[in-house]
């Protein structure tokens, strides 16, 4: 029996506005994402890639068509159920890190576990483990001001994976980083994909960053313009 995709768009469309002001951000998209895949989403501004990412992350729902998460149609869930799905199944990494400035690294990483109502000692143990996984053991008590940009993004990744999500969604994760630090972050995300089995979905406009993915899809004007496997260069293979 062939396993079903982890994530699937079936003729997904998304429109905004009414009448003459209607904007069709996505137009009847079919897309399947398998478990443990590393997918890069590319496209120019206004192509629909961010809209697709928002729907994949259960931050929005299609106007028509169906989005299935592990066989469950997300459009049939109410807002509370979608919140629980995000909380337990998804991790998010953003270009701007989105850390609490005056809060220590370990306290930032604990936040998703606070929302789950987890007791303090267990939260601290899991957050410390996540920071160790991203190479920040010993930096638990440092605030954002005491960390470099790359270290801040590592804290953000630790926060995203502390709940052991099935899917990590990364929106321009290296956009605020220099080339060397960006490569370090991508090596980390590749390791999480390969060693932890986390499905990674990443939006990027940089070909060099997309080259780390196993598969690259490109959106243009709300349509899926191309979908191809990626043969990685030796420098991108750990």
For the segment 39-51, what is each residue's pLDDT rounded down to a tens digit? 999 999 999 999 9
pLDDT of residue 2: 65
Share of the chain above pLDDT 90, in %: 82
> ∠ CA 49-54-58 to the nearest 5 degrees?
145
Average pLDDT over residues 19-38: 93
CA distance 75 to 154: 32
pLDDT reading at 234 higher than 50: no
pLDDT in tens, 35-90: 999 999 999 999 999 999 999 999 999 999 999 999 999 999 999 999 999 989 99
Q: What is the rounded (10 degree) CA torsion for 191, 194, 198, 203? A: 70
pLDDT reading at 136 higher than 90: yes
Q: Grade residue 1 by pLDDT with cuts at 50, 70 and 90.
A: low
| CATH superfamily of the domain spanning 1-66+166-238 | P-loop containing nucleotide triphosphate hydrolases (3.40.50.300)
Q: Where are the domains of the chain?
A: 1-66+166-238, 99-164
């Amino acid at each position: 029996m062939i396993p079903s995709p982890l994530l699937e768009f079936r003729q997904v469309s998304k429109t905004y506005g009414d009448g003459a002001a209607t904007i069709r951000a996505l137009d009847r998209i079919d897309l399947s994402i398998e478990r443990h895949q590393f997918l890069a989403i590319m496209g120019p501004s206004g192509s629909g890639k961010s809209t697709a990412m928002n729907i994949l992350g259960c931050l929005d729902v299609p106007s028509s068509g169906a989005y299935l998460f592990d066989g469950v149609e997300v459009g049939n869930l109410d807002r509370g159920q979608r919140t629980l799905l995000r909380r337990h199944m998804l991790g998010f990494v953003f270009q701007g890190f989105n850390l609490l400035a005056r809060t220590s690294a370990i306290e930032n990483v604990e936040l998703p576990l606070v929302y789950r109502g987890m007791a303090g000692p267990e939260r601290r143990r899991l957050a410390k483990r996540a920071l160790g996984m991203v190479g920040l053991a010993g930096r638990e008590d440092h605030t954002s001001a005491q960390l470099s940009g790359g270290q801040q993004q590592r804290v953000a990744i630790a926060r995203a994976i502390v709940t052991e999500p099935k899917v990590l969604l990364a929106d321009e994760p290296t956009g605020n980083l220099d080339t060397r630090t960006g490569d370090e972050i991508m090596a980390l995300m590749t390791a999480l994909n390969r060693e932890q089995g986390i499905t990674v979905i990443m939006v990027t406009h940089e070909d060099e960053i997309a080259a780390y993915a196993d598969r690259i899809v490109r959106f243009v004007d709300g349509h899926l313009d191309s979908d191809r496997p990626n043969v990685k260069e030796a420098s991108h293979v750990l």
